[in-house]
Structure 1
Amino acid sequence: MKKQNLVGAELTFKELDDLMVRQGYESELQYVSDLSRVIEKKYIGYTFDMGLTIDVLKFKIISENEKDPENTIIRIMGSERLNC
């Protein structure tokens, strides 16, 4: 699944992160110890090309898992690419 095909997809943070890392992206989650910050801002960032490209995925929470936040189900609502 390519990033642009993710809009509308429902998956967990863990599934999204695994997918993006397999495609060669660095995950914001590896630098954030607590997912609550990501959940609050409603978007997650992935970098590519040694940080020169940032893909921002906006999401909506479908089913929150308070005991295991990585398994919170989200729907990808949109994406934006930023080039530095």
Structure 2
Amino acid sequence: MQYDQTVITPKGLAVHIRNGVASDGSAVLENFDLTHAETDYLLSYPDENHFDAEQESRYLEKKATSPNEIELIAFVDGKVAGTAGIDAIGA
């Protein structure tokens, strides 16, 4: 699936949201490790993650070419601010 849109927040911050691609692998992994180290309310901690940057890149590429799944990445000032995904169930 493909998605690409810039949203302006009520405070005027531009948030660029698009589907992830293979070249985003390192930045997404870095964001994952950072956010999962900052809170106890996510499903895992960074040391429980078994993905490396190359595997993350392959995962993002698979989602980018999927007809019914997507991994979205939000960018603020060119840096990954967050991710969200939609996975097909029973496909």
Larger strand proportion of the pair: 1
Larger helix proportion of the pair: 2
Higher Cα Rg, which structure: 2
Does the TM-score normalized on the shorter chain lie above 0.5? Answer: no
